[in-house]
Structure 1
Amino acid sequence: MKFLLSFVAIFTFFFSVSAQLKSPSEFLGYELGTQFTRHHEVVDYYEYLANEAPDRVKLTIYGKTNERRPLLLAYVSSAENISNLESIRQEHLKDTQEGGNTSKAIVWLSYNVHGNESVSTEASMKTIYELLTAKSQYLENTVIIMDPCINPDGRDRYSNWYNQYKNTPYQVDPNSKEHHEGWWNGRSNHYMFDLNRDWAWLTQVESQQRLKVYNEWLPHVHVDFHEQGKNNPYYFAPAAEPYHEVITDFQRNFQETVGKNHAKYFDQNGWFYFTKEVFDLFYPSYGDTYPTYNGAIGMTYEQGGGGEGGLGVITATGDTLTLKDRIDHHFTTGISTVEVSSQNAALLNSEFKKFHKNQNFAYKSYVLNGDKDKIDALKSLLDKHKIEYGTPSNGTVKGFNYSTGGNGSMSTSNTSMVVSTNQTKGTLVKVLFEPNAKLSDSLTYDITAWSLPYAYGLDAVASTSLVPASAGTNQTAANATLASDSYAYITDWNSLKDAKFLAELLNSGIRVRKADHPFSIGGQSFDRGSLIITKGDNQYKEDFIAVLRAAVAKYGKNMTNTKTGFVDSGKDFGSSSINMITKPKIAVLSGGPTSTLRFGEIWHFFEQQLHYPLTVLDDAYINRVDLDKYNVLILPGGRYGDHFDEKQLQKLQQWVRKGGKIIAMGGAIGALNGEHGFGIQKKKMENDSVDNAPSPHKDLEREMIKDAITGAIFKTKVDNTHPLAYGYDKEYFTLKLGNASYNYLDNGNAVYLENNTKPFSGFAGSEAQKKVKESLVFGAENFGSGQVIYMVDNPLFRGFWENGKLFFANALFMVD
């Protein structure tokens, strides 16, 4: 009897506490799903729950967006677990070293990484409320970490747009304006980056701040909530092939377990769904794969709707899909995920230990040599991921040579770097560094190559033996001694850091020259592109030395002092081959035919990497702009087609002839090709190389990929005597994203493919390889007094192809 009374008392207590909490609808003042909730209102609701139930909800702000919106995490669990949250975290992390003894499941739920896939944030509010009330039993052995909105800037961009343009009441006709966002849509973050493809590369502030906390927890389960086209049914785990080979049998099987649990609830409601299609587990920078490679069960859930869904829309089947429907679906899979995790907490813990114990990979160590700035840039990325690295002793290491694609050897020294797999992040190391990731299926959702030695332009050997190394640090030393009686100061040109240094000087009003030929002076040799800062050029700048010293210290530059402009070999500093670098006045096209992502990469490069001013000219009014105010015009990649008519092309040609510079990237190049265009010409294929035999309909998709390149790495030839290729070796590994191909230019082929077009890493179809052979990658042609620079491949792709960025800087500063 006493036991029964105690049970009733406890039940009554929890019921009374739960009853006191307001549901999202009660708090917001409207029924959830009848409005899009602005981000600050979402924050208000989470703060309300944390204030009303502080024993079961801990709310933290882990950062801010570019537009100053807060980034939140809510920790939800039982009162006992919340009071012991830090000890649970520490005990859980011991499992990466086999020493933990926790019985709690750690589940991380991430919502709204794409801003206009807005239902998930709405669903997060319903989910947390139900976990604190009707579903509180799951909290006893589960810690749930909820990120209600990864991308607040994009979400509010969409919510504000929709609230501005929707009908009242909302219009379900898919042709209505409220279902058609403009060019500047809400999918991406402030800089138009896709945050769901930034988990590994960490180019964006949202990703950088989130990963700091994620790596402090390394959850057992991570779910990324998305939306897809309005006519698609719901998608959940298990994922499609290809699965990366490092994914364990348990990770595969648990996806199946979760999926079957979801299916049970969807079947009960008669909701349509699909699994094992489209969304694979290969590319490492997604919200499902990155957690997977860190030991979690990483999953993507996709609800139909997205930016075209609005509050309600008629689908292709004639049904009406409402925001309320979409909330219910994401809510159901969210709760189902927590349920399965709670039921399998012990299994998740034991398998998490096994994941970190059984890391027996073919390559044990990756050894890298190269320019110090590039090594430092890679170290900076590894630090963010808590990946350990070290320095080997002097000697020789044998293994797979990245440059030749076969076995070889490489000398090591105290400037070399070793990254090995015998560490907590060993699986992630294998995935990010392996020369060529194994594909179980060539039909993939994203790029198939990303190996960091290629991306950072470093010589590398993958060794099957563990290479001993001492602990490494990322330190930048500089020679900041600038003698006041020097004639000039000289420094190298090899990396993006050098370009940042130059941009700093130009922004500060310091005049800088460049060497167009190699030279030696004072017993030191300098290559093409070397920067020369003379006292004579800056004699009227009173703070010249102080500004230069500050820039040298900021970027860790080594400077050479010289008391003469008379060189030992090469061209003297007064030669016409030692040209003043013209301070560029730069504009970039936005809107219209340009891709938001490709525009965003350029915008972010200037503002957050190069730190150089950029004017954005929108396609809606660029024809009314006086282009003579600028000397560089960047045309981002996109779908241009015949965007420029003959009159517009003539205007551009006149501007270039007078000294302007066009940098045309990706799809923009095609718009400059043709009878009335510039000198670039698309390649024509020989028809006799194509097999015209009909294929069965079931094989159509696989036949089409013969003509595709899904993000593969190719080895190219480089003419490093051309200003567009200053600072590079005679070979460059490019990330090719498609089969677009252009003939060599008459002159100015800085980077190009020869006959052998088999990729070094990643997938390229047989027909696509034929198309791209003997084709241009980066080139420049003189046109009157100006230049047109063509970038067929994208050196700024997603901000992570570090070794391509100097090409872009060369286009800005070196080509004249």
Structure 2
Amino acid sequence: MMKLLSRTFACFFLFATLSVTVQAQGDIQSPSEFLGYELGSQWTPHHKVMDYFWHVAETSSMVEAKEYGESYEGRQLMLAFVSNTENMNQLEEIRTNNLKRTGLLDGEPSADTTAIVWLSYNVHGNETSSSEAAMKTIYELVHPENAETKSWLQNTVVIMDPMLNPDGRERYVNWFQQTVGEEFNAQVEAREHHEPWPNGRTNHYYFDLNRDWAWLTQKESRQRVEEYQEWMPHVHVDFHEQGYDSPYYFAPAAKPFHNAITDWQSDFQYAIGKNNAKYFDENSWLYFTREVFDLFYPSYGDTYPTFNGAIGMTYEQAGHSMAGLGVIQAEGDTLTLDDRLTHHFTTGLSTIEISSQNADRLVSEFSDYYRTARSNPQGEYKTFVIKADNNPDKLQALFDLLDEHQIDYGKATRERTMGGYNYRTGGTERIRVTEDDYLVSVHQPKGVMARILFEPRPELTDSVTYDITAWEQHYAYGIEGYALKQQLEVNETSFSKEDIDNAFDDKPYAYLARWEGLADVQLLTDLLKNDIKVRFASEEFKIDDRMYGRGTLIITRADNKKMGERFDNLVQKLASKNNQQIYGAETGFVQSGPDFGSSSVRYLKKPRVALLAGEGTSLNRVGEVWHYFDRQINYPITLLDTGYFDEVDLDNYDVLILPSAFDGDVLDDERFQEVREWIASGGKLIAVKDANNMLVDKDGFGLKWKEDKADSTAKASDDKLDRYGDQQREYISGSNSGSVYEISMDTSHPLAFGYEDSYFSLKLDADAYSYLDNGWNVGVAKEDAHMSGFVGYKAEEELENTLTFGVQNMGQGSVVYMVDNPLFRAFWYNGKLLFGNAVFMVGQ
């Protein structure tokens, strides 16, 4: 048992005089009373956690609860708001007053200095102790006999999200309950400590929700961030777990800090850390700070709040799925679930305490943060230009994201020429801004977040970082634009795509649909699912004085004559549903380029697609492909488990997608031979990122590592005297954790249809492959291809003149090598057409 915390957490006074009037407080049950078992003795399923929070809300005037959405699997997402009765009676006023401080809501804020603290639990489903801690925390906040917590709530509103990822948590909890015996086994070798694939860390689609705060690709993230922006808290804590032998981690965070983080945000992390340390010291609990967990990548549960003005922090408890209900640690002690939840409970209350003690300063600094953002924003660039002539579907997708983050944008007030950073060339040059161009100014409430998303080269104070280091949105969306050091005036306006008109008076010879982005892939899949036969152009052509690029979809009446009168109505209806303009051609005889009956206009066979999944494959990478098919392009895909893959008849499929795999034995030699034979008979294999490693030097596959010249020359004798303490930095010099590269594309190849000569790719490692000797080097990284983000100097040299995307013909079939993953975390919008090309265009 923990030693009682003398000053704060055990100051209970029976019949204490409270500052609030509590309704039916005698009816509030402790978690153990409500659940019927001692908290920490077993896992509490999602529905019971929700039930307990609703119970507290229904029996205490200090709590309100709100259902704010549901997970993909239909589980409830909820928030609880906790404060004293006076604050609860004016909760809406506190909320709107805080939004007025930010400038996101019009009006002058009052002098109210109520601090808002948001606690987020269980974003990773198999880091389960925090939801248990959440129940203990809310109970102690409202318990009638805990006078100390009541004093904090006089000037503080606490918002609690008890379970951000219920689908992942239930996946883990259900598995554990089916695995454990009557008593848990603390030996780490026991089965209950080895969670199988898929583990519970991720959501339904195997996405890491703690990487999705900024990108909002997942349902749970979109619903949560919408609620978050209704409050804009001053402090946010994201509760996690790490390896079961690790001491507890709390703020202050490790470097690198993004240089948009203010001195105050950094300083108050220290204050919170010192307060946490006080209680950990009293109980002789081990902890560490300022290591591992940095504040740079903007899509975490600590950085996203930080870039929105809060004190954003991650707290990491030892545990994770390997801890089970109890596990023997390296030093021989047994770490129990009760230990884990108690530690999280302690830091949660400690954070509320120190926030309450500094409520005036928190509110003051928060107000200054947004005042500075509006009137004197920091950073080199003040205006980001998005050219008006970009693809409208890409613009719509980008502006939808900005709208979700409440980032303002508009049009230029006048035409002008000036110096600016050109994202495409990577240099400063004379550029022209027209009145039709869109501008994002950092002089706005969400100016810091705008800066984070659009600055060309985020500055790293330390190269040892936890995640990717580049994410700039011009590159992610494949759009043209500039970064300007001057502030330009902006006429705020919303974006709307031009109206489409897909009503035709006559019945054309063929319908034409351009091939330029994800929306066009979505139209294609709708056509195929409705058994409409489609052709595509492998060469540019001109008809009716319009030019059409490679990949253009050609839907002829002749191919679909069996559809009869349904044909025109269905094609027009599906194009309108996908908000895509189609064009009618009265003849197949074009002005230039191949006629519609040419062999250069190819019939597109509806592919049957399979995805390898299961033990040995990367959970996240499988999920990205699954989500792409199931939620983005809505096209059938069959997931094949590695456990029975050897028994699958591959002739039932036309496309097999091999995701990143950490186990090189996912395919044994015999199955490799069968896959080769299937390819040779007409199948298509798409290897994504690390899956390519398995194909290197395999019989029949042309993929090879680039020769490492550094390794071919022996080190000089002095160079062998490496310093032990420099090993991490030596490793970093040869690594690339995530940076943007300009990839030179062969746009004549079907894999590159719809793209220009350059594609900006998020390169996630330093894997360097040689150009294909017998194949098509469709996308390659040449010299000086690095555009943004950190890459070690050795890695940068190694990645010069290497393959990024390639296609090898093998008999009647083909292999698509996707060294970079265009579907990474589903936020690299411009890569989604590339994957569509791999599935639908290549090999047809």
Q: TM-score range by the shorter chain?
A: over 0.9
Q: CA deviation at 1:546?
A: 1.9
Report the Cα distance in structure 1 between the residues aligned to 2:569 and 2:435, rounded to whole angstroms: 33
Report the Cα distance in structure 1 between the residues aligned to 2:618 and 2:15, rounded to whole angstroms: 61
Among candidates 71, 74, 93, match of residue 80 of structure 2: 74
Among candidates 502, 507, 513, match of residue 529 of structure 2: 507
1:727 matched to which residue of 2? Answer: 754
Matched position secondary structure for 1:217: coil
CA offsets 1:711-736 (integer angstroms, 9 cap, x no match): 01111211111100001010111111
2:477 matched to which residue of 1? Answer: 456
Report the Cα distance in structure 2 between the residues aligned to 1:91 and 1:302, rounded to whole angstroms: 33
Alignment of 1:522-601 (within 5 A): 522-542=544-564, 543-601=566-624
CA offsets 1:318-345 (integer angstroms, 9 cap, x no match): 1100000001100000000000111111
* 1:384 maps to 2:404: yes
| Aligned CA distance change for structure 1 residues 9 and 330 (closer, same or farther; 3 Å) | closer
Among candidates 7, 23, 32, match of residue 25 of structure 1: 32
2:6 matched to which residue of 1? Answer: none
Report the Cα distance in structure 2 between the residues aligned to 1:471 and 1:677, rounded to whole angstroms: 57
Q: CA deviation at 1:483?
A: 4.0
2:823 matched to which residue of 1? Answer: 796
Report the Cα distance in structure 2 between the residues aligned to 1:94 and 1:674, rounded to whole angstroms: 62
1:4 matched to which residue of 2? Answer: none
Q: CA deviation at 1:770?
A: 2.3
Q: CA deviation at 1:468?
A: 2.6
Count of matched residue pairs = 808
CA offsets 1:593-637 (integer angstroms, 9 cap, x no match): 210000000011111101101000000001111110110000011
Q: CA deviation at 1:693?
A: 2.7
Among candidates 421, 441, 459, match of residue 400 of structure 1: 421
Alignment of 1:167-566 (within 5 A): 167-358=181-372, 359-369=377-387, 370-392=390-412, 393-413=414-434, 415-476=436-497, 477-542=499-564, 543-566=566-589
Report the Cα distance in structure 2 between the residues aligned to 1:9 and 1:330, rounded to whole angstroms: 27
Report the Cα distance in structure 2 between the residues aligned to 1:500 and 1:485, rounded to whole angstroms: 24
* 1:806 maps to 2:818: no
Write the letter of the residue equivalent to 2:150. S
**Which residues of structure 2 form unaligned runs of 5+?**
1-13
Q: Is the 8 A contact 1:649 1:677 kept in 2?
A: no
1:114 matched to which residue of 2? Answer: 124
* 1:671 maps to 2:694: yes
Deviates more, 1:730-739 or 1:542-551: 542-551
Report the Cα distance in structure 1 between the residues aligned to 2:271 and 2:735, rounded to whole angstroms: 34
CA offsets 1:520-556 (integer angstroms, 9 cap, x no match): 0111111111111111111111422222122121222
CA offsets 1:88-147 (integer angstroms, 9 cap, x no match): 111111111393222100000000000000000000000000000112221111111000
CA offsets 1:401-439 (integer angstroms, 9 cap, x no match): 111111124444465321111111000000110001000
Matched position secondary structure for 1:276: coil
Write the letter of the residue equivalent to 2:519. K
Among candidates 35, 39, 42, match of residue 35 of structure 1: 42
Matched position secondary structure for 1:209: helix
Among candidates 22, 34, 54, match of residue 47 of structure 1: 54
Write the letter of the residue equivalent to 1:42. V
Q: CA deviation at 1:15?
A: 8.7
Report the Cα distance in structure 2 between the residues aligned to 1:91 and 1:690, rounded to whole angstroms: 67
Report the Cα distance in structure 1 between the residues aligned to 2:814 and 2:504, rounded to whole angstroms: 36
Write the letter of the residue equivalent to 1:31. E
Report the Cα distance in structure 1 between the residues aligned to 2:432 and 2:679, rounded to whole angstroms: 47
Q: CA deviation at 1:168?
A: 1.8
Task: Give the structure-2-normalised TM-score.
Answer: 0.94
Write the letter of the residue equivalent to 1:84. Q
1:750 matched to which residue of 2? Answer: 778
Q: Is the 8 A contact 1:649 1:672 kept in 2?
A: no
1:83 matched to which residue of 2? Answer: 89
| Aligned CA distance change for structure 1 residues 15 and 77 (closer, same or farther; 3 Å) | closer
Q: Is the 8 A contact 1:482 1:559 kept in 2?
A: no
Q: Is the 8 A contact 2:65 2:79 kept in 1?
A: yes
Matched position secondary structure for 2:742: strand
Q: Is the 8 A contact 1:640 1:670 kept in 2?
A: no
Write the letter of the residue equivalent to 2:409. Y
Report the Cα distance in structure 1 between the residues aligned to 2:205 and 2:465, rounded to whole angstroms: 26
Report the Cα distance in structure 2 between the residues aligned to 1:16 and 1:400, rounded to whole angstroms: 61
2:679 matched to which residue of 1? Answer: 656
Deviates more, 1:418-427 or 1:185-194: 418-427
Report the Cα distance in structure 2 between the residues aligned to 1:690 and 1:226, rounded to whole angstroms: 45
**Which residues of structure 1 form unaligned runs of 5+?**
1-6
Q: CA deviation at 1:397?
A: 5.0
Q: Is the 8 A contact 1:233 1:272 kept in 2?
A: yes
Report the Cα distance in structure 2 between the residues aligned to 1:638 and 1:462, rounded to whole angstroms: 38
Q: Is the 8 A contact 2:512 2:555 kept in 1?
A: yes
- State percent identity of aligned pairs: 49
Alignment of 1:636-647 (within 5 A): 636-647=659-670
Q: CA deviation at 1:39?
A: 0.1
CA offsets 1:13-66 (integer angstroms, 9 cap, x no match): 96995443110000000000001000000011011111111x211110100101
Q: Is the 8 A contact 1:368 1:417 kept in 2?
A: yes
Q: CA deviation at 1:11?
A: 4.5
Report the Cα distance in structure 2 between the residues aligned to 1:658 and 1:71, rounded to whole angstroms: 49
Matched position secondary structure for 1:750: strand
| Aligned CA distance change for structure 1 residues 394 and 501 (closer, same or farther; 3 Å) | farther
CA offsets 1:656-678 (integer angstroms, 9 cap, x no match): 11110000011111212224241
Q: CA deviation at 1:12?
A: 11
1:3 matched to which residue of 2? Answer: none
Q: Is the 8 A contact 2:560 2:567 kept in 1?
A: yes
Q: CA deviation at 1:10?
A: 4.2
Alignment of 1:100-179 (within 5 A): 100-101=109-110, 102-133=112-143, 134=146, 135-179=149-193
Report the Cα distance in structure 2 between the residues aligned to 1:739 and 1:689, rounded to whole angstroms: 20
1:632 matched to which residue of 2? Answer: 655
Write the letter of the residue equivalent to 1:236. F
Write the letter of the residue equivalent to 2:778. A
Matched position secondary structure for 1:547: helix
CA offsets 1:129-176 (integer angstroms, 9 cap, x no match): 000011222111111100000000001111101111012200000000
| Aligned CA distance change for structure 1 residues 260 and 659 (closer, same or farther; 3 Å) | same
Among candidates 772, 781, 791, match of residue 764 of structure 1: 791
Q: Is the 8 A contact 1:115 1:158 kept in 2?
A: yes
Matched position secondary structure for 1:755: coil
Write the letter of the residue equivalent to 1:212. E
Q: Is the 8 A contact 1:484 1:545 kept in 2?
A: no
Write the letter of the residue equivalent to 1:473. S
* 1:609 maps to 2:632: yes
